[in-house]
């Protein structure tokens, strides 16, 4: 199954180039200092106030007036395990019960122009373990709109069975999935690719419960009504 759209916005270029790097530069101009290649391992607290007073990165300790945690769940769980203060808080301990899934992002450059009806496409049904989505970057990125090639980004979720594959095998899997959705990808050659593996990066949400009988009945009636409307002559001119 391929869903034609999804509820989010795509950047009109590389996020790092268009958003993240300019944002960091603006913060530096305001006097902020960035410490690179430091992995937080735990937090320490002030004995008197009971508030977080510093962040520990291996052998280095950084003090500050305020802290904002912006990281993946697996990294946060590691910090909770190493911080007695966080382990004593129930809300932080509950984070240890959450599970994560692996994500792989594949960007493919094809050697010809391919018409993709929708910019964003959420897919399912190709296997039982993972879901995936793909995006037409050719029509989104300003730098690509005039190109005679096609650039697509595909993201695979719960992709533990793909993480250990070679780059070539991942490219083959992504191309095969695209062909199943849009036949014009058949015969297109991948001239360039970029792969980002993100193990344990996304929260694994529990399956949602099925609709109650009366809700499903109403939805069935609504679908049937829409089918009947589509058979009425000139129905596209009427407000739905």
How many CB atoms lie under 10 A from the CB of residue 201?
A: 18
Residue 217 has pLDDT above 90, yes or no: no
pLDDT tens for 57-101 read 988 999 888 888 888 788 888 888 888 888 888 888 888 888 888
CATH class (in words) of the domain with range 2-9+101-203: alpha beta
pLDDT band (50, 70, 90) for residue 240: very low
Give the per-residue pLDDT at 188: 92
> What is the pTM for the complete model shown?
0.68
Q: Please, where in the chain does CATH 3.90.660.20 lie? A: 2-9+101-203
pLDDT at res. 144: 79
Contacts of 153 (CB under 8 A, 6+ apart): 105, 106, 107, 108, 134, 135, 137
**Would you state the pLDDT for residue 1?**
45
Q: Is the pLDDT of residue 237 over 50?
A: no
When pLDDT is cut at 50, 70 and 90, the band that residue 231 belongs to is low
pLDDT digits (tens, 9 = 90+) for 19-72: 889 999 999 999 988 888 888 888 888 878 878 889 989 889 998 888 888 887
More confident residue, 107 or 130: 107
Mean pLDDT, rounded, for 143-159: 87
Quote the pLDDT of residue 128. Answer: 55
CA 167, 168, 173, 175 torsion-angle sign: positive
Q: Is the CA virtual torsion 11, 194, 200, 7 positive or negative? A: positive
User: Is residue 139 within 8 Å of residue 151, measured between CB atoms?
Assistant: no
């Amino acid at each position: 199954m391929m869903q034609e759209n999804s509820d989010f916005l795509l950047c009109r270029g590389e996020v790092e180039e268009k958003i993240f790097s300019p944002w960091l530069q603006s913060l530096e101009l305001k006097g902020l200092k960035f410490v690179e290649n430091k992995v937080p391992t735990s937090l320490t607290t002030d004995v008197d106030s009971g508030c977080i007073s510093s962040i520990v990165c291996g052998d280095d300790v950084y003090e500050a007036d305020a802290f904002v945690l912006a990281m993946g769940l697996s990294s946060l769980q590691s910090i909770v395990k190493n911080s007695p203060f966080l382990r004593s808080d129930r809300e932080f301990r509950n984070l240890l019960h959450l599970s994560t899934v692996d994500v792989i992002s594949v960007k493919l450059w094809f050697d010809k122009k391919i018409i993709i009806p929708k910019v964003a496409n959420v897919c399912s049904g190709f296997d039982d373990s993972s879901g995936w989505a793909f995006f037409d970057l050719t029509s989104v990125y300003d730098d690509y709109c005039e190109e005679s090639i096609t650039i697509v980004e595909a993201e695979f979720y719960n992709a533990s069975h793909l993480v250990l594959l070679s780059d070539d095998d991942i490219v083959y899997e992504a191309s095969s999935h695209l062909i199943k959705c849009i036949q014009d990808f058949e015969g297109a050659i991948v001239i360039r690719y970029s792969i980002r593996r993100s193990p344990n990066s996304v929260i694994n949400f529990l399956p949602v419960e099925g609709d109650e009988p009366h809700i499903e009945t109403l939805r069935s009636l609504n679908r049937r009504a829409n089918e009947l409307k589509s058979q009425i002559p000139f129905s596209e001119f009427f407000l739905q």
